[in-house]
């Protein structure tokens, strides 16, 4: 026999995830935040311990499938009002001003993200794409030299050749590391 005790507060669930976990526990939940999982299925403690951990893992991952939004904000209007006033200001004038600031900050952030994406795409088109095209041409030439019939393709991807090159590079790095350690 094996018993495992878990504190629900240590699992860092959102309210909806906590409700789902409690629902999945069924009669094992007694109302306190400390739950107990028992297994008597096997003869040895180790097998029962593994069974308890597997059950706990399955319950945990299934509970995480619940949305992580703050449900108390939706269900309780007094809590919603309290949180809005806490984060955006006590008066309506303060809240309007704070919302404008948040909206401007969001727009600025989106502009920065779009600029970064555009920069990466430009780099990809200018630098990386020609290198990748040349590499694919080299692979096609190697495959033709080895006797593969690729239908005259000028560019080709070959995961096996890439894997062999990766192993070769890894081996070279290990040799260099070994030489550095000796020195």
Q: What are the structural domains of the chain?
A: 2-72 (3.30.160), 92-182 (no CATH)
pTM equals 0.41
Q: Is 21 exposed, middle or buried (0-12, 13-18, 19+ CB in 10 A)?
A: buried
Q: Tens place of pLDDT for every residue, the chain, 183 residues?
A: 899 999 988 888 888 888 899 999 888 888 888 899 899 999 999 999 999 999 999 999 999 888 767 677 777 889 888 988 988 999 999 999 999 999 999 999 999 999 999 988 888 778 777 787 888 888 888 878 878 777 777 777 777 777 888 888 888 888 888 888 776
Q: How far apart are CA 166 and CA 172, in angstroms?
A: 10
pLDDT value of position 169 = 87
pLDDT value of position 183 = 67
Spatial CB neighbours of 37, under 8 Å, sequence gap ≥ 6: 3, 4, 6, 28, 52, 55, 56
Question: The tokens of 75 are what?
Answer: 């269900």
pLDDT value of position 73 = 73
Spatial CB neighbours of 95, under 8 Å, sequence gap ≥ 6: 84, 85, 88, 89
Q: Is 63 exposed, middle or buried (0-12, 13-18, 19+ CB in 10 A)?
A: buried
Helix 129-146 × helix 159-182 angle, to 10°: 100
Q: How far apart are CA 164 and CA 168, in angstroms?
A: 6
């Amino acid at each position: 026999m094996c018993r495992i005790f878990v504190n629900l507060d240590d699992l860092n669930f959102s309210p909806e995830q906590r409700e789902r976990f409690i629902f999945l526990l069924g009669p094992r939940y007694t109302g306190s935040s400390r739950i107990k999982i028992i297994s008597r299925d096997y003869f040895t403690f180790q097998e029962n311990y593994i069974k308890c951990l597997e059950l706990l893992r399955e319950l945990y991952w299934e509970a995480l499938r619940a949305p992580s939004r703050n449900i108390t904000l939706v269900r309780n209007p007094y809590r919603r009002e309290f949180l809005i006033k806490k984060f955006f200001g006590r008066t309506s004038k303060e809240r309007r001003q704070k919302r404008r600031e948040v909206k401007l900050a969001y727009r600025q952030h989106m502009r920065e993200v779009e600029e970064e994406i555009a920069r990466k795409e430009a780099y990809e088109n200018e630098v990386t794409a020609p290198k990748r095209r040349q590499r694919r041409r080299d692979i096609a030439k190697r495959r033709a030299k080895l006797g593969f019939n690729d239908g005259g393709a000028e560019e080709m991807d070959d995961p096996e050749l890439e894997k062999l090159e990766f192993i070769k590079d890894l081996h070279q790095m290990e040799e260099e590391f070994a030489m550095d350690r000796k020195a």
